[in-house]
Amino acid sequence: MTLTTINLAALGDTINLGTEVTGTLPTGNGGTGSTATTFVNAATNVTGALPIANGGTALTSGFVNGGGLTEADQWRVTSGFNSTTDPIANNWERVDDTGFSKIGTGMSQSSGIFTFPSTGIWKITFVISTYKNGDDRTITKRASTTVNNSSYTEVATADASVSGVQSNNTHSSGSCTIFFDVTNTSTHKIRFAFYTNNSSYYYTTSSMVLSHVVFMRMGDT
């Protein structure tokens, strides 16, 4: 028997699906084609995206928790220096100011090498604050990544400069941003460097965010 129509008037305008509906609803009409009670396998039998109006995200993959980030973290350098340093291996700390909170597990760091807590597409922004003390200064900040936990490749760089016509202790800052597809947390890592042509000072402190790096996981790899 194939169920095609239901006479609501004959049933008093209500339908008891447990006792008053028999037969099968064809698969072409959205049913299972079976009289047995079955469950829909969401992994194999459901496709597409659930609209936002119906409580979904309108996405077939990617973000979870209503579109929020699953990982976000911020680290800073707490002690300054005035010479080229590659990599910046010391004096890193996770920001711990009042009101700060990371999302998820957060990054880990050893000798300036940062390890990701999970695979995914990561957005990384490196910011440095510097100041001059005398002649012209050119400061370069660099981000380098590895996909084999061995050889590093420079993937982003940005320059900041201050002129000798400006007074001493003139401050400058710059930043660079990359998107990094981390497919393996054991092999995919990142480190940062500071280059100066004339003893510029890398400006840091542990009491606020100056020279720092921000990590955000944007979606699945």
How many domains in the chain? 2
- Alpha-carbon span 149 to 63, nearest angstrom: 28
- Domain assignment of residue 60, yes or no: no
- Alpha-carbon span 100 to 14, nearest angstrom: 56
Question: How many other C-beta atoms can be found within 10 angstroms of the C-beta atom of residue 213?
Answer: 23
Q: Tens of pLDDT along 81-132?
A: 777 888 999 989 999 988 999 999 999 999 999 999 999 999 999 988 776 6
Q: Tens of pLDDT along 158-181?
A: 876 666 555 556 667 778 999 999
Q: Are residues 165 and 214 in the same domain?
A: yes
CATH number at residue 165: 2.60.120.40
More confident residue, 1 or 185: 185
- Domain assignment of residue 130, yes or no: yes
**Cβ contacts of 105 within 8 Å, gap of 6 or more:** 71, 117, 118
Of 166, 167, 172, the residue nearest 200 (C-alpha): 172
- Domain assignment of residue 93, yes or no: yes
Tell me the C-alpha to C-alpha distance, in Å, between residue 171 and each of 71, 133, 163.
Answer: 32, 10, 11
Q: Are residues 119 and 179 in the same domain?
A: yes
Domain that holds residue 94: 67-219
Question: Which of the four pLDDT bands, split at 50, 70 and 90, describes residue 66?
Answer: very low
Q: Are residues 112 and 20 in the same domain?
A: no
Q: Are residues 71 and 147 in the same domain?
A: yes
Q: For position 68, what pLDDT does the model report?
A: 79
Q: Are residues 117 and 208 in the same domain?
A: yes
